[in-house]
Structure 1
Amino acid sequence: MHHDPLPEETPTLDQAARQIRRYGLDADPQAVLVAVRLLAAGARLGQAVEAHFAGFGLSAGRYRLLAALEDADGEMTPSGLADVLGVTRATVTGLLAGLEREALVLRRPSAEDGRSAVVVLTARGARKMRELAPTHFGRLQEMVSALDPGERTVFLDLLGRVVRGIPALTAE
């Protein structure tokens, strides 16, 4: 699924200012514009990421789980995976079901505590990660190729600050 890039000027600063005035609010149109464009870019990025991983027979969630297992030397508990991925234990259970069906991971009793399970990256799972790595990392690099190293450093700082502001969307 190919999408054209978002037009940089959509919405415009004037549109944001008009909408704010329509509701009689005292909000900064530029701040609103940045947030709205970021939300639109995030939605487009989410769609593109899923299409990207679908080409490898994965979802973004399944890939992140396999990568977390690789980072942990191939073995983790389901609750450890949930913590690392920032998702619920139920979400991990769902991701594992599909990955187990494809023999990319397996669950086995823990050596330390036979009542609990550990998730293990199989040789097939490790091979899949190795096979997709050149394309995956090449595409990631290409996605940000319009930014020079200094701009990427600034972007990482700015992105971190915006991410710390995300809870404002769900504040009560």
Structure 2
Amino acid sequence: MAEDERTVDTPTLEQAARQIRRYGLDVDPQAVLVAVRLMAAGARLGQASEVHFARFDLSTGRYRLLADLEDHGGEKSPSDLAASLGVSRATVTGLLDRLERDGLVLRRSSAEDGRSAVVVLTARGAQKLRDLAGEHFGRLQAMVGDLSTQERTVFLDLLGRVTRGIAALTED
């Protein structure tokens, strides 16, 4: 059995319950187990995503930025990109530096306000997205290929609810 297959089921419900008892907490072990496994799956998915996008000489962040630009008519301000990607303006700047160096985007002054900048998807950037689309979307489909349409519908609902709960980790 591959390591990835062995680690999918760790920790176990009993391990979670044992930890909770050790600290004398009144917490549902199953809820903790779901959250811990989701966090572990998220970490593994993040690593796999980087391997996936490296095939196209991109990172997950650079791909997301290109796709967001394409979804918004090929032009957007750096601050709007940061907001829609959920990252800092400094992170966007780093992503843009590499994308611009590769000729996939360019930065220019805004036609509406010469003091602000906009990011423009170049023809080369749009072609890059077209070139990777078949393999990219095919692999995404394969990733969830063991789920039926009904299961994917339920999963999307559950994922939305869990995503709304993420703030519990960060709020004061």
2:128 aligned with 1:107:
no
Q: Is the 8 A contact 1:6 1:41 kept in 2?
A: no
Separation (CA, whole Å) in 1 of partners of 2:32 and 2:82: 33
Letter in 2 for 1:120: V
> How many positions carry a matched residue from both structures?
171
2:28 aligned with 1:28:
yes
Identity of aligned residues (%): 74
**C-alpha displacement at 1:5, in angstroms?**
3.5
Number of the residue aligned with 1:63: 63
Number of the residue aligned with 2:166: 166
Separation (CA, whole Å) in 2 of partners of 1:6 and 1:98: 37
Separation (CA, whole Å) in 1 of partners of 2:81 and 2:156: 25
Number of the residue aligned with 1:38: 38
Separation (CA, whole Å) in 2 of partners of 1:136 and 1:3: 25
**C-alpha displacement at 1:82, in angstroms?**
1.3
**C-alpha displacement at 1:115, in angstroms?**
1.6
Output one character per residue of 1:110-141: Cα deviation in whole Å (capped at 9) or x when no partner.
Answer: 11112211111111101110001001000000
**C-alpha displacement at 1:6, in angstroms?**
5.2
CA 1:6–1:128 in structure 2 vs 1: closer, same or farther (change >3 Å)?
farther
Separation (CA, whole Å) in 2 of partners of 1:129 and 1:137: 11
SS of residue matched to 1:4: helix
Output one character per residue of 1:36-88: Cα deviation in whole Å (capped at 9) or x when no partner.
Answer: 11111111011001111111111111001000110111111111111211212
Output one character per residue of 1:19-49: Cα deviation in whole Å (capped at 9) or x when no partner.
Answer: 1111111111111111111111111011001
2:47 aligned with 1:47:
yes
Q: Is the 8 A contact 1:20 1:29 kept in 2?
A: yes
**C-alpha displacement at 1:108, in angstroms?**
1.1
Letter in 1 for 2:92: V
Number of the residue aligned with 1:126: 126
Number of the residue aligned with 2:89: 89
CA 1:4–1:56 in structure 2 vs 1: closer, same or farther (change >3 Å)?
same
SS of residue matched to 1:120: strand
Normalising to structure 1: TM-score of the pair? 0.95
Question: Could you list the runs of 4 or more consecutive aligned residues of structure 1 that deviate by over 4 angstroms after TM superposition?
Answer: none
CA 1:74–1:157 in structure 2 vs 1: closer, same or farther (change >3 Å)?
same
Number of the residue aligned with 2:147: 147
Separation (CA, whole Å) in 1 of partners of 2:24 and 2:83: 43
| Structure 2 alignment gaps of length 5 or more | none
Normalising to structure 2: TM-score of the pair? 0.95
